[in-house]
Structure 1
Amino acid sequence: MTAVRERAAASGYRRIAALALPALVVLAAEPLYVLVDTAVVGHLGRVPLAALGLAGTVLGLAVWLGNVLAYGTTGRAARRFGAGDRAGAVGEGVQASWLAGLAGLALVLAAQLFAGPLARALSGNGPESAAVAAQAELWLRVACLGAPFILLAMAGNGWMRGVQDTRRPLYYVLGANLASAVLCPLLVYGLGWGMVGSAWANVAAQAASGGLFLRALWRERVPLSPDWAVLRRQLSVNGALLVRGAAFQACFLSAAAVAARFGAAALAAHQIALQLWFFSALVLDSVAIAAQSLVGAELGAGDPAAAKATARRITWLGGWCGVAFAVVLGASVTVLPALFVDDPAVWEQAALIWPWFAVLLPMGGIVFALDGVLIGAGDVAYLRNLTIVAAVVGFLPATWLAYALDLGLTGVWAGLTLFIVVRLVALLLRMRTGGWAVPSPAPRPA
Structure 2
Amino acid sequence: MRRTEGAVPVRRILGLAVPALGVLAAEPLYVLVDTAVVGHLGALPLAGLAVGGVVLSQVSTQLTFLSYGTTARAARLHGAGRRAAAVAEGVQATWLALLVGLVVLVLGQVFAAPVARLLAGDGEVAGVAVGWLRIALFGAPLILVTMAGNGWMRGVQDTARPLRYVLLGNGLSVVLCPVLVYPAGLGLTGSAVANVAAQAVAASLFVRALVVERVPLRPVPALMWAQLGLGRDLVLRSLAFQACFVSAAAVAARTSTAAVGAHQVVLQLWTFLALVLDSLAIAAQALVGAALGAGDQRGARGLASQVSRYGLVFGIGLGVLFAALSGVLPRAFATDPAVLAQIPHAWWYFVLLQPVAGVVFALDGVLLGAGDAAFLRTATLLSAGVGFLPLVWASLAFGWGLAGIWAGLSLFMLVRLVAVVSRVRSGGWAVVGAVRDGSAEAQSA
TM range (shorter): 0.7 to 0.9
Structure 1 counterpart of 2:430:
437
Call closer, same or farther: CA 1:384–1:305 in 2, change over 3 Å: same
Structure 2 counterpart of 1:206, one-letter code: Q
Quick check: 2:292–2:432 contact (8 Å CA) kept in 1?
A: yes
State the Cα distance separating 1:285 from its structure 2 match. Answer: 1.0
Residue 437 of structure 1: SS of its match in structure 2? coil
1:116 and 2:105 correspond: no
In structure 2, give the amino acid aligned to 1:20: A
Q: Match for residue 322 of structure 1?
A: 315
Letter in 2 for 1:313: Q
1:42·1:340 contact (CA, 8 Å) conserved in 2? no
Count of residue pairs the alignment pairs up: 438
Match of 2:200 in 1: 207
Partner SS for 1:224: coil
Q: Share of identical aligned residues, percent?
A: 57
Matching residue of 2:72: 75
Superposed, 1:98-113 pairs within 5 Å as: 98-113=95-110
Structure 1 residues 403-422: Cα deviation after superposition (integer angstroms, max 9, x where no partner) = 44455555444433332221
Correspondence for 1:31: 28
Q: What SS does the corresponding residue of 1:222 show, helix, strand or coil?
A: coil
**What code does the residue aligned with 1:376 have?**
G
Give the distance between the partners of 1:326 and 1:233, measured in 2 at CA. Answer: 40
Residues 407-439 of structure 1: CA distance to partner in whole angstroms, max 9, x if unpaired? Answer: 555544443333222111211111222221121
What SS class does the counterpart of residue 8 from structure 1 fall into?
Answer: coil
Distance 2:298 2:141 in 1: 39
Look up the equivalent residue of 2:270 and give its one-letter code: W
Counterpart for residue 221 of structure 2: 228
Q: What does 1:393-432 align with in structure 2 at a 5 Å threshold?
A: 393-405=386-398, 407-432=400-425
Q: Which runs of 5+ in 1 are unaligned?
A: none
- C-alpha RMSD of the superposition: 3.3
Distance 1:373 1:394, change over 3 A: same
Find the aligned partners of 2:40 and 2:323 in 1 and give their Cα distance: 23
Q: Which residue of the partner structure matches residue 22 of structure 1?
A: 19
The answer to whether the aligner puts 1:368 opposite 2:328 as a matched pair is: no
Cα pair 2:346 2:402 within 8 Å, conserved: yes
| Partners of 1:53 and 1:271 within 8 A in 2 | no
Residues in 2 aligned to 1:149 and 1:95: alpha-carbon distance in whole angstroms = 15
What do the CA deviations read for 1:305-363 (whole angstroms, capped 9, x no partner)?
A: 10011111111112222233334445556766666678777666666544343133322
How far did 1:184 drift? 4.4
Q: Is the 8 A contact 1:273 1:353 kept in 2?
A: yes
CA contact (8 A) 2:75 2:289 kept: yes
Q: Is the 8 A contact 1:367 1:424 kept in 2?
A: yes
2:282 is aligned with 1:289: yes
Counterpart contact for 2:79–2:434, Cα < 8 Å:
no
Partner Cα distance (1:348, 1:55) in 2: 31
TM-score between both structures, scaled by the size of structure 2: 0.85
Structure 2 match to 1:58: 55
Code of the aligned partner of 1:32: L
1:84-95 matches, cutoff 5 A: 84-95=81-92
Output the amino acid matched with 2:104: L
Give the SS at the match of 1:226: coil
**Segment drifting more, 298-307 vs 356-365:** 356-365
